Amino acid sequence: MNAQDMNKRIRLIMHLRTRGITDTNVLSAMERVPRDAFVPREVLDQAWEDTALPIGRGQTISQPLVVAAMTEGLKLSDRDKVLEIGTGCGYQTAILAHLSRRVYTIERHVPLQKDAEKRFDQLKLRNITALAADGMKGWPKINGIDQAPFDKIIVTAAASAAPPQALLDQLKPGGIMVIPVGPPGEQMLKSYQKNEDGSFAIKDLMPVRFVPLLPDIAKDEEAA
């Protein structure tokens, strides 16, 4: 990494601190994960800016402030097993991989999922399992093995009114889900902490703007 890139990286971390991100583990992970490895060449010069960027198929890599806020909201420990809905380019996944024991991540756009897996391999991130599937159904049972329930769940697309019941069901008692909820223009990032009796303590974190959470594996023509 050259000095200019290092300066950009440090400047972004300092900016996140001024915007209220206080978890030093989250800031350290965001400093270590090379965001420039996850953005298309056409926008490479903006990789370390605090802005969302297009990654193809009508999807984006989230603004670093939002990535940091979502990650901080999960209150991760290195013992956690995390489910991520919406792999995208894999940047948020890589942050999670640095902070948790294991990450299971689902993407409905097959080309994005395949590209993300290549990046995980290049960065030697060995604690990620990626799958192309319908994330609204949660992590499927594979070969008779059920990975649910999860300590933490993060959803990087917006539920229209409430989180899918399948995801709420896959969250452990005491676990936390962070998910944007609401129609376009009125989305709020929310934290759902599951109580022992199955009820939820819900907290608003920040206004956000995400693509909608959709069912099924995306068809080829759904590219914009």
pLDDT tens digits, 87-145? 999 999 999 999 999 999 999 999 999 999 999 999 999 999 999 999 999 999 998 99
Active site residue: 28, 62, 160, 199, which one?
Answer: 62
**Residues 167, 65: Cα–Cα separation, whole Å:** 24
120 lies in a domain? yes
> Residue 223 — very low, low, confident or very high, per pLDDT cuts 50/70/90?
low
Q: What angle do CA 191, 164, 104 make, to 5 degrees?
A: 75
pLDDT surpasses 80 at 164: yes
**Residues 80, 179: Cα–Cα separation, whole Å:** 18
Residues 6+ apart with CB under 8 A from 127: 97, 100, 101, 102, 103
Does 62 participate in catalysis according to the annotation? yes
pLDDT surpasses 80 at 5: no
Helix (H, G, I), strand (E, B) or coil at 9: helix
167 lies in a domain? yes
pLDDT surpasses 60 at 224: no
Residue 76 sits in which domain range? 3-207
pLDDT tens across 36-73, in order?
A: 999 999 999 999 999 999 998 889 999 999 999 999 99
- Of the candidates 207, 179, 183, 204, the one whose C-alpha atom is nearest the C-alpha of residue 86 is 179
92 lies in a domain? yes
9 lies in a domain? yes
Torsion over CA: 175, 70, 106, 159 (sign): positive
**Residues 40, 46: Cα–Cα separation, whole Å:** 10
pLDDT at 4: 78
User: What is the mean predicted confidence (pLDDT) over 155-165?
Assistant: 96
215 lies in a domain? no
Residue-wise DSSP of 59-114:
EEEPPHHHHHHHHHHHT--TT-EEEEE--TTSHHHHHHHHHSSEEEEEESSHHHHH
Is residue 180 within 8 A of residue 85, CB to CB? The reply is no
> In the predicted model, what is the mean pLDDT of the chain?
95
Tally DSSP H helices, then E strands, for the chain. Answer: 6, 9
191 lies in a domain? yes
How many domains does the chain fold into?
1
Is residue 195 within 8 A of residue 201, CB to CB? The reply is yes
Instruction: Name the strand (E) or helix (H) holding 121.
Output: helix 110-122
pLDDT tens across 107-123, in order?
A: 999 999 999 999 999 99
pLDDT at 214: 95
pTM: 0.96
Question: Percent of the chain beyond pLDDT 90?
Answer: 92
Residues 6+ apart with CB under 8 A from 30: 12, 13, 16, 64, 67, 68, 71, 95
184 lies in a domain? yes
44 lies in a domain? yes
Q: Which CATH number covers residue 64?
A: 3.40.50.150
